[in-house]
Structure 1
């Protein structure tokens, strides 16, 4: 995780909205963008942790409480961003139900299925819907955080996998609908050690956990944040509708038991 001391920005005039930014990958993305000079609006359903994160990141971080599955809250949050900063240049849809496991299919509650899809798939659609007019005005970009589980599964992960597979498809649909003014891409992380730094130090991953990756290590939030930042930049101006897998090569590794 990027520490507060590393997050002193030179403001570049651009504003990014990052959802699910109170911890983990979302917080890492917010910190990285601030280091690159962005004004970042963090959103999360955890008011206490989100407010603390924004305070730690400094003057170019702003926190808004928001449940991405609630259209009224999405509409209000986007209005608050425009009222506070007058523009929006980037949207990063990171908020999600993070536990990929659900009860066995025969006992899977419909409420669990619906909530997972509401947050992981409907949320990014609602955010794109309400942010699009403002992103279009500045030639903005959207990055959706999907998952390698859109392509491979463990048992009892139907809700999460369906939501992430749908998000990859939604990404290219939005790219076609919103282009050429707005670019839309997806990043699909593999195993990312997104734990708090203190927990990582107290419970380090094993050598075997790192070694199984073709890159020789488990991923970090910075690996994902760097890809997101590039996709939001002008250097990626010819890139839209694509999925970028950040997994240390694991989805290309042939494994037989």
Structure 2
């Protein structure tokens, strides 16, 4: 069951492409932008859920199927956006293999490593490559969804951590290459409860989960979406090449056991 309601917002004439938008943080970002009056293209691998989500979100939402690691699919998807709307103002690269844990380093499969980097790092590069001419025409913006795991790790997260660390480097490289016409920034979420509402109700997080955060709670998709929306707005016009951490303060907290 998809629990959504159609956003209510007047059109602002701007078009955003959000990848990995059928659920979780990507869906939260798409919904926020629709409420701000954007026309939003939701790109995702999930051909079953994606169209249903777009239908619920209303006439300003369009779903396209896309594997961001496949350059042909990326090129075709961008062409579809331009054919439908005639412009592109923002690219939000959220699609990722989001489970950070792989097997131990000694048993890490090279195929898994390559796929994670192809999706999490290669995908944003391909999207920037194919979207840049159209973003440039309208002073567009790119926001990459990285992770606090780009700078901090648990065990057995080599592929994910490397991909997100690379994405931060790609972000500032793109900002320099594509500026001043296109601004490029990254958002690094911490613990965000991005589960569907029904799951959150059935399996609520504990008080300890929330209390360990200096902000007093685990993050929500809206916390991330609000930051992305600001970075896409003209209010952030002097901001490019930067990383914005949305983690409730956890990365600034000293944690010792005992």
Q: TM-score, normalised by structure 1?
A: 0.98
Q: How many residues align?
A: 256
Counterparts of residues 31-180 of structure 1 (less than 5 Å): 31-180=31-180
Q: Residue 176 of structure 2 contacts residue 241 of structure 2 at CA under 8 Å; is this kept in 1?
A: yes
Distance, in Å, in 2 between the alignment partners of 1:9 and 1:60 is: 10
Provide structure 1 residue ranges, at least 5 long, that are not aligned to the other structure. Answer: none
CA-to-partner distance for each residue in 1:161-208, whole Å, 9 max, x for gaps? 000000001000000000000000000000000000011011110000
Secondary structure at the counterpart of residue 47 of structure 1: coil
Q: Which residue of 2 aligns with 1:9?
A: 9
Task: Please tell me whether the aligned partners of residues 6 and 58 of structure 2 are also in contact (alpha carbons under 8 angstroms).
Answer: no
Other structure's SS at 1:256 match: coil
Residue 158 of structure 1, CA deviation: 0.2
| DSSP 3-state at the match of 2:91 | strand
In structure 2, how many angstroms separate the alpha carbons of the residues matched to 1:226 and 1:49?
24
Distance 1:3 1:38 in 2: 21
Q: In 2, Cα distance between the equivalents of 1:8 and 1:57?
A: 9
How far does residue 8 in structure 1 lie from its aligned partner after superposition?
1.8
CA contact (8 A) 1:8 1:58 kept: no
Superposition CA RMSD, Å: 1.0
| Contact 2:6 2:56 (8 Å CA) reproduced | no
Could you tell me which runs of 5 or more consecutive residues in structure 2 were left unpaired when the two chains were aligned: none
Judge which range, 21-30 or 6-15, deviates more: 6-15
| Deviation of 1:3 (Å) | 6.2
Moved more, 214-223 or 44-53: 44-53
Matches of 1:184 and 1:220, distance apart in 2: 23
TM-superposed deviation, 1:4: 3.7
Instruction: Give distance in 2, aligned partners of 1:5 and 1:93.
Output: 24
Q: Deviations over 1:66-100 (max 9, x none)?
A: 00000000000000000000000000000000100
Instruction: Calculate the TM-score normalised by the size of structure 2.
Output: 0.98
Displaced runs of 4 or more, over 6 A: none
Match of 1:194 in 2: 194
